[in-house]
């Protein structure tokens, strides 16, 4: 029994739950590849739409394929009237991840996947429309504005910024969004992806699979670390103040978000990439507080605990410098990771067997049912 409890408590870490051709995580300590391509090379050399195409269609697109793919996604950004009506009923104090979950589920009611031959059409639609969903709700709920969601933006990242702020975004910000969406696109059998695959294994529809994944990402132990990191670092005005506070948190054994990882042991390969972009953004806006504070926190955590920043930590400052509200940080994760989730659904469906593990029972031995009058 003790061994069974230990296994359960380990959260199945270190155990293989299946096969995938999509991604490697943590091989040789800190590697991350999508279909064999290193994450740094992808973030440096391609746009997010190319990575989404790679994950969903199995290859990097050529010039014509990328042009056609972008045009197809651009044509799919509009919101159905019924979906707008639903979004307008969601209160301003709702959790934005609940908005994403509800928006995806409602879309599935309006545009139901009738058979799996339609999966790519519905996946492309979700990629295109998710930024429209979250930013339509945000602008209506907080400012009473019904925004136009069919923008002329060339990319998903640009479309997100355009629909959020109501204007064509800074070219640097568009570049950062490409990198950010690429970094978040896929990460093997994490909790939300595994949720999507379990749902897919029952032969459920694509919207149910993605809705379930959003629900898993909503949990603070999976998504939301960038929001928590922003709430933490925004408290401090100098690096010295940050160091004193972090030392106090460590002494109290407080949870410090944005550090360490379930798989990586030495570093998160995504961190250096987004950190460099955060630094460039800080210089653009003339920041002298947030980025230095972030760097000091990073240094103290490594010095004291040998804990490294994961992908979420410097995403907090990067998003902030682009004027993105903190509560929308994790929905951006959804706008990216839907590509990875959907690719896993496709992969699960192609070689399916229902995912139904067993459990090690730890309750009492079999016993008789006492009469009502004999129960305590």
308 contacts 260 by C-beta, under 8 angstroms: yes
Encode pLDDT of 266-297 as tens digits: 778 899 999 999 999 999 999 999 999 999 99
Walk me through the domains of the chain, giving residue ranges and CATH numbers.
23-220+328-350 (1.10.580.10), 225-322 (1.10.230.10)
CA distances from 30 to 24, 40, 84, 213 (A): 10, 12, 42, 25
CA nearest neighbour of 310 among 15, 30, 12: 30
Q: Quick check: 121 pLDDT over 80?
A: yes
> Among the options 312, 315, 320, 344, which is catalytic?
312
Q: Quick check: 149 pLDDT over 80?
A: yes
State both tokens at 320: 């902030």
Least confident of 34-43, 103-112, 262-271, 313-322: 262-271
Encode pLDDT of 206-220 as tens digits: 999 999 999 999 988
CA 4 to chain centre: 31
CA pair distance 207, 113, nearest whole angstrom = 8
CA nearest neighbour of 264 among 180, 187, 341, 179: 187
Confidence at residue 266, expressed as pLDDT on a 0 to 100 scale: 77
79 contacts 129 by C-beta, under 8 angstroms: yes
> Among the options 187, 207, 261, 344, which is catalytic?
261
State both tokens at 43: 């973030």
Residue 222 annotated as catalytic: no
Burial of 99 (0-12, 13-18, 19+ CB in 10 A): buried
Phi, psi dihedral angles at 300 (to 5 degrees): -70, -40
CA nearest neighbour of 76 among 136, 126, 146, 117: 126
Residue 360 annotated as catalytic: no
Encode pLDDT of 325-374 as tens digits: 999 999 999 999 999 999 999 999 999 999 998 889 999 999 999 999 99
Burial of 360 (0-12, 13-18, 19+ CB in 10 A): exposed
State both tokens at 4: 């069974």
Of all residues in the chain, the percent with pLDDT exceeding 90 is 82
CA distances from 291 to 165, 314, 355 (A): 23, 8, 44
Confidence at residue 12, expressed as pLDDT on a 0 to 100 scale: 65
């Amino acid at each position: 029994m003790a061994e069974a409890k230990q296994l359960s408590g380990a959260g199945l870490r270190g155990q293989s739950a299946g096969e995938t051709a999509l991604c490697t995580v943590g091989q040789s300590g800190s590697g991350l590849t999508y279909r064999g391509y290193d994450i740094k090379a992808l973030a440096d050399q391609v746009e997010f739409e190319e990575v989404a195409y790679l994950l969903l269609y199995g290859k990097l697109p050529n010039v014509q394929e990328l042009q056609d793919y972008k045009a197809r996604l651009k044509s799919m950004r509009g919101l159905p009237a019924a979906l707008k009506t639903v979004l307008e009923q969601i209160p301003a104090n709702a959790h934005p991840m609940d908005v994403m979950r509800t928006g995806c589920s409602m879309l599935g009611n309006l545009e139901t996947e009738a058979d799996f031959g339609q999966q790519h059409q519905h996946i492309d639609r979700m990629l295109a429309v998710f930024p429209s969903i979250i930013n339509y709700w945000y602008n209506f709920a907080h400012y009473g504005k019904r925004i136009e969601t069919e923008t002329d933006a060339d990319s998903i990242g640009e479309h997100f910024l355009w629909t959020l702020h109501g204007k064509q975004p800074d070219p640097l910000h568009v570049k950062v969004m490409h990198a950010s969406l690429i970094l978040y696109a896929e990460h093997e059998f994490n909790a939300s992806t595994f949720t999507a695959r379990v749902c897919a294994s029952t032969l459920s529809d694509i919207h149910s699979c993605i809705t379930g994944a959003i629900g898993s990402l909503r949990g603070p132990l999976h998504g939301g670390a960038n929001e928590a990191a922003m709430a933490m670092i925004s408290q401090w005005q100098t690096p010295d103040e940050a160091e004193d506070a972090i030392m106090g948190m460590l002494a109290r054994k407080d949870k410090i978000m944005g550090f360490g990882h379930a798989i990586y042991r030495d570093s998160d390969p995504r961190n250096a990439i987004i950190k460099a972009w955060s630094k460039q953004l800080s210089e653009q806006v003339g920041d002298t507080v947030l980025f230095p504070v972030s760097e000091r926190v990073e240094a103290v955590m490594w010095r004291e605990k040998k804990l490294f920043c994961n992908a979420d930590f410097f995403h907090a400052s990067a998003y902030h410098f682009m004027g993105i509200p903190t509560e929308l940080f994790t929905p951006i994760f959804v706008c990216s990771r839907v590509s990875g989730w959907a690719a896993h659904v496709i992969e699960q469906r192609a070689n399916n067997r229902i995912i139904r593990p067993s459990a090690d029972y730890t309750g009492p031995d079999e016993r008789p049912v006492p009469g009502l009058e004999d129960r305590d």
